[in-house]
Chains A and B, each alone.
Chain A
Amino acid sequence: MTPDRAPPAPDDAGTGPTAPDEVPAAADDPGPTTRERTGRFALGAYPLDARRARGEEMLGTLLDASDGSVGRFGREIGGLVRAGLGERAARVAGAGARRLIADGFCLAGVWAMTLDLSVLLAQRVRGEQDALLAPGSIALLGLALAVALVGHDRLAGAGVLAWTALRMPGLVDHHPGLGRLAASEIPGLVVYSVMLVAPRRRRPDVRRLGWLAVPAALVAVFGSPSISDHAGPIELGLLGIPALALVATAAAMLSTDPRLAIAGAVWATSLGFGVALRIPRTSAAAAALLITLAPAVVAFAVVRTRRLQRRAAIP
């Protein structure tokens, strides 16, 4: 059923009386252009397909509803951003908490592969000799990473698990004691297993291979022989600034899309286990804090996702 078009109202197609604070702006008022730009910017809070489907219509309603009133315009913009973020969050939550957690673990797996590949390649570029730096082994890891980036998590997970198994004898030599070996390898095994068992549902896209620029850049910086002793402020900045930006982004997106935060928290927990095993007791509190991060973020994601799913009905 298609409704008849609403009859246009006398002046601005609205109905009912015009409130005092809704007097149309003067023709020479430059406000509307600025407002239109602000409105379009605020619409960026909505998912792309929602913007395409009804963005222009919403913009028209927003400009009419706030015409002549600065306060109303501000409230409209604030409401639009909240509603847009809410719609994003509801869509993400629609996938279900289990799927979001698995996605976060898969993302953590891709990060682990990226860093492992960068470290191994940098060591090789610096001329270090080790059985773990065999070209075939590094090539297998690189291939698995490329496959994951394109969108085939399951195949990549199988590949990277095979890569881990093949280098296990060398790892045992490097990590005397079962505890350190476990702390070093179990986080990777967990996230790679999730990639194998519960891969992300993504349409394959070879353009994502552009992310290989990240390990390439890391190798370019950390493959320099001068780095072998200690990293300088530039190198630390190159790692630290993106890491801080990532933490800030993950925290900002936590209530909308927790996958980035889950991936980061998995890393933090893994780091916490490493700290607990390698560094003296003075770091026990920091290690405990890091270890609890993944369970805490996962618990938050589960509660938040369920709450958003319950809100799907008309309030």
Chain B
Amino acid sequence: MELRAPSYFGLAALIDGPLHGYAIVRRAAELSDGAVRLSTGTLYGLLERALADGLVVAGQPYVEGGRTRRDYALTAVGRAMLETEAERMAHAARTVSRRLRATATPSTPG
């Protein structure tokens, strides 16, 4: 499965432990160096599909600071899927880097 950046970083936000919706938004922004800013609609669409696919599980809702929250945790299946995706991207990056180095000449700009 090839994930787009919002889905990849949204799920990766849960690697360190369960988080609620807003915490996932912030963690995904951190992990992507600000490149991914999940909107609420995108986040819950992702979580809904991830729940259906068994990639994450949801806890019971609770109230914190006047907000209704629910924590989401990565499952073993979700972690394995992220590992596969990370390895796929790393392999792609290595392949391209190797080719760039192999074809580099002194006159190549940059």
Contacts and interface: CB of A to CB of B under 8 A. Distances in A.
Contacts of A63: 67
Contact of A9 (B6, B7, B23, B58): B23
Interface stretch (A80-88, A109-117, A224-232, A254-262): A80-88
Contact of A80 (B40, B46, B55): B40
A6 B17 contact: yes
Contact of A64 (B3, B22, B59): B22
Nearest to B25: A65
A79 B25 contact: no
A244 to B, nearest CB: 31
A79 B17 contact: no
B42 interface: yes
Contact of B4 (A1, A2, A54, A315): A315
B73 interface: yes
Nearest to B43: A61
A83 B30 contact: no
B65 A12 contact: yes
Given A1-B73, A2-B60, A65-B39, A60 B22 contact: yes
Given A4-B17, A65-B25, A56 B61 contact: yes
A234 B59 CA distance: 58
A136 interface: no
B93 interface: no
Interface residues of B, number: 46
B3 A314 contact: yes
Contacts of A56: 61, 68
A30 interface: no
Contacts of A54: 44, 70
Contact of B22 (A3, A19, A65): A65
Contact of A60 (B43, B49, B55, B67): B67
Interface size class of A (residues with CB under 8 A): 35 or more
B82 to A, nearest CB: 11
Interface in B37-66: 39-46, 48-50, 53, 55, 57-62, 64-65
Contacts of A2: 57, 59-60
B47 to A, nearest CB: 9
A260 B58 CA distance: 36
B4 A79 contact: no
B74 to A, nearest CB: 9
A79 B39 contact: yes
Interface in B54-110: 55, 57-62, 64-65, 67-73, 75
A1 B39 CA distance: 27
Interface centre among A3, A15, A65, A87 (most CB of B within 10 A): A3
B19 A80 contact: no
21 contacts: A1-B73, A3-B18, A8-B64, A9-B23, A13-B65, A13-B67, A14-B23, A15-B19, A17-B30, A56-B68, A58-B44, A60-B22, A60-B67, A60-B69, A64-B22, A79-B41, A83-B42, A83-B45, A86-B45, A314-B3, A314-B7
Interface of A: 1-6, 8-9, 12-17, 19, 50, 54, 56-65, 75-76, 79-84, 86-87, 312-315
Given A60-B69, A83-B42, 17 more contacts: A2-B57, A4-B71, A5-B59, A6-B69, A13-B67, A57-B61, A58-B44, A60-B22, A63-B67, A64-B22, A65-B25, A80-B40, A83-B39, A83-B40, A86-B45, A312-B49, A314-B3
